Amino acid sequence: MSEQKFSEDCVQPPDFDSLYRTWLSPLVSFLERRGAAGPDVDDLAQNIFLRFFKLTRSGKYSPEPPFLFHIARYALKDHFRTEAHRHTKDHLPLENLPEGKIPRDRLSPDRAVASRQDLRRLMEQIDRLPDDARQVLLLYRFRGLPKRQIASQLGLPLKRINLLLEQAFCILIDEMEDDL
């Protein structure tokens, strides 16, 4: 085996934390200017960064901001297409419905079974996450706690919370894609 020697020209791995801190605000502004609103903006931004990190980590793509915004454009198209298909703007909040008049699930039986199976697989994958990543993920996504509150509650730096969330999402994405 020959040892690979790195020259000074060799590209250093990108500092994803600084890229995230530098480009999060411009990305959120970009999404809002193009019509994304409310909690969707944060979810979209997080998913875009996950795709960006995953694709650039593989070495196939350069970790440059234009590529980040290229991903964002396609993520927005996908988001609006999905939103139109689901008719999310037509949904009524449950508190506005008369007592006992909660609408029934309109999924076909096959689709309902597949959805339950997907949910079970996701829960199994969450259970397999490293303890610290699982705990942070559950507090952030399921309890809705802000990252700063999670950091103070667990006695960890905010940077560590961001890394644990990134780790959890990357593992879940990789595992769920492998199951497909």
Does residue 7 have a pLDDT over 70?
Answer: no
148 in a structural domain: yes
58 in a structural domain: yes
Give me the pLDDT at residue 68, please: 86
Amino acid at 177: E
- Taken as a whole, the chain contains a residue count of 180
Across the chain, mean pLDDT equals 78
Per the CB < 8 A criterion, the answer to whether 66 and 72 are in contact is no
5 in a structural domain: no
169 in a structural domain: yes
29 shares a domain with 79: yes
pLDDT above 90 covers a percentage of the chain that reads 21
2 in a structural domain: no
Does residue 177 have a pLDDT over 80?
Answer: no
Phi-psi region of 87 (alpha: psi -120 to 50; beta: other; left: phi over 0): left
* pLDDT tens by residue, 103-157: 555 556 777 788 888 888 888 999 999 999 999 999 998 888 899 999 999 999 9
Domain CATH for 26: 1.10.1740
48 vs 170: CA distance, rounded Å: 12
Give the confidence band of 53 by pLDDT, cuts at 50, 70, 90: confident
Residues of the domain holding 58: 16-88
Of 88, 111, 139, which marks where a domain is finished? 88
Instruction: Output the 3-class SS for 80-94.
Output: HHHHHHHCHHHCCCH
| Total tally of structural domains belonging to the chain | 2
